[in-house]
Amino acid sequence: MQFDLLIKGGRVIDPASGLDAPRDIAVADGRIAAIEATIDSETAGEVVDASGCIVTPGLVDLHSHVYWGGTSLGVDADRLAAKSGTTTFIDAGSAGAGNFLGFRRHVIERSKVRILAYVNISFAGIFGFAETVSVGECSDLRLCEPRETVAAV
């Protein structure tokens, strides 16, 4: 069989299958085609030496703020994913009912990585965090309106 990519000699850690061992991984048509102790390098168009590296399924960041540009805490999910092996980010309430549609259209829908998001009970989401400004999203309880949050969802 011919593979597009062969990742050789990495320590493969896959909790779902209980695997934690040195393995070669072959990829064909964008999918894992084989995981074996040794796969012949001649069977692949491209070979990556992963010796000394950990090879694992994509990681999930369970608490992130990826509303880049919409809040001072937001990070660029795609840029961070490329450096961290993260394939899914769970945004922990960066946006509220008042700005969730913008978050969805301008960040979530345009992102290459998967983003799942909680909607903040504060209408404005998180805001006001800088070196000289610190205002929590629930500092004014008038911003916390469950009916607006439910309507946004």
* 59-152 to CATH, choices 3.20.20.140, 3.10.450.50, 3.90.1570.10, 3.90.700.10: 3.20.20.140
Alpha-carbon torsion, ordered 13, 58, 45, 49, to 10 deg: -50
| Lowest-confidence segment of 59-63, 69-73, 125-129 by average pLDDT | 125-129
Domain covering 3-55 assigned CATH 3.10.129.10 in the classification:
no
Q: Does residue 78 surpass a pLDDT of 80?
A: yes
CA distance 105 to 100: 9
Residue with tokens 């608490």: 63
Q: Where are the domains of the chain?
A: 3-55, 59-152
Q: Does residue 1 surpass a pLDDT of 80?
A: no
Are the folds of 3-55 and 59-152 the same?
no
What mean pLDDT, rounded, does the chain reach? 94
User: pLDDT tens digits for 135-151?
Assistant: 888 889 999 999 999 99
pTM for the model stands at: 0.78
